[in-house]
Every structure is written in structure tokens, then in C-alpha cells.
Amino acid sequence: MTISKQELQINEEIRDKEVLVIDAEGKKLGVLSAKEAQQMAFEQDLDLVKIAPQATPPVCRIMDYGKYCFEQAKREKEARKNQKVVSIKEIRMFSTIDTHDFETKVNQAVKFLEGGDKLKVSVRFRKRAIAHPELGNELLDRFKEAVSAAGTVDKPAKMEGRSIVMFVSPKAAK
């Protein structure tokens, strides 16, 4: 089980002849042989960890590796917790929607956009209403105007089967 994405060499895994050693407090101890550095770490009951293998000589630090891994995992968990996952919410309307229903859909859409979610707005056509796609386009234009304060159109209205679909994303927070 790997705790961190970056695999660090510790203690006996370090095969270099000479390494630049940094102690637990962050002071440079200078260039020492790997055996001497391991001995110093062992005396302090800590680990010798190679933190910069590409440097010449490689940089090793004397630290408690278990504690380091625990703190790293804790930081990653905190970063994941603070991430906002953007989901796509869908608003469906029919081409013959009433004004109050339309206002309700707009209010719901504004709430979604202010919450940071993207929107997929679709206007479905029933039966013979498909013969008048201009009604759906007019409806989506009205919708676009109504939510313009909270969001901007990502993808303009496009016919897909028996419906017209438009994508709206939230405006960037200032």
C-alpha cells in the first residue's frame, strides 16, 4: 500500500556513495557518506530519506518517515475535502410551457448556477409540435435572457432528436 504518489528511498535503499545531509531541524550537515548518514539517523532513532535524488550529490534528510507519510496523507485528504465537484443539472421544459412554470424553472436554474453547477437546458417536443422548432428556440432565448445574471451559455441551442439542448455554466465568482 503506497501512502504517497512519490516513492522516496529510505535508509538501506539509498545506494549512493555520498549524500548531502540535512538534519531534523533543517540544518545542513554537509556531504557525508551514505553509511555515516544512516548511522547518524539510526542514533537519533529516525530515518534517512532521499528527498532530491536528481541533485548532485543527492539530498537526504533525517526525519521520522512514518510521521511524514501520515502528514502527507492528511494534507491530501484535506485538499480533496476542499475540492468542489461540478455536476451537470438538467432542466427539462416542453415547447408549450406556461409562464408561471417557466418562471419556476428559471428560479431553479438560477439556484443551481449560484451553487456552482452547470446546466443542461432541454426543450422537448411532443407529437406534432416538432413541426415548429422555432417555438423551442424562442423559449431558450427567453431562458437565456432570464438567467444571464447568474450564468453564460457554453454551447448554443442545438437540435438533438425530439428536443433542443443548450448548456449554461455559472459566471466566475469575483
Residue 98 cell numbers, joined: 406556461
pLDDT level of residue 120 (50, 70, 90 thresholds): very high
- In this predicted model, what pLDDT tens digit does every residue of 13-29 receive, in sequence order? 888 888 898 888 888 88
| Cα→Cα distances 96→47, 124, 127, Å | 72, 9, 12
Relative to beta strand 151-160, strand 163-170 is antiparallel
pLDDT value at 60 more than 70: yes
CA-CA distance, 92 to 130, in Å (whole number)? Answer: 16
| Predicted local confidence at residue 1, as pLDDT | 37
* Whole-number average pLDDT of the chain: 85
